[in-house]
Amino acid sequence: QVQLMESGGGLVQTGDSQRLSCIGSEGTFSSYVMGWFRQAPGKEREFVAAISKSADTTYYADSVKGRCTISRDNAKNTVYLQMNNLKPEDTAVYYCAAKRGLITRGQALYNYWGQGTQVTVSS
């Protein structure tokens, strides 16, 4: 198993940029597909972005496409989510997650989850 911990959340204004980080506990970090998900108040958790083990493939939700970039640094056991032009609709708890195997948008297939970090975008 891998233990995950998110950081970088906080209060920002509409149009601002923010970078979230998620660090994993294992030295075999490169063997995991990594994803970002979010859960807004009163809503179900939804997919945001995913990145393959070698970072050659990325997936994005339509709601964030063009505004978000997922990246990873396997040497640092870290995955990032760069968010630009933030909107109030982006307000949510953001979770990072990991899985073995192939990249997917399906959150049910991710086995390991962090505790989440709150992102609040004021209007």
Q: Is 49 left (phi over 0), alpha (psi -120 to 50) or beta?
A: beta
Specify the amino acid at residue 57.
T
* Token reading at 59: 């997936």
pLDDT tens, the chain, 123 aa long: 899 999 999 999 999 999 999 999 977 899 999 999 999 999 999 999 999 999 999 999 999 999 999 999 999 999 999 999 999 999 999 999 999 999 999 999 999 999 999 999 999
Residue 112: the pLDDT is 97
**3-class SS at 81?**
strand
Q: What are phi and psi of 32, to 5 degrees?
A: -110, 135
Residue closest to 24 by CA, chosen among 47, 6, 51, 8? 6
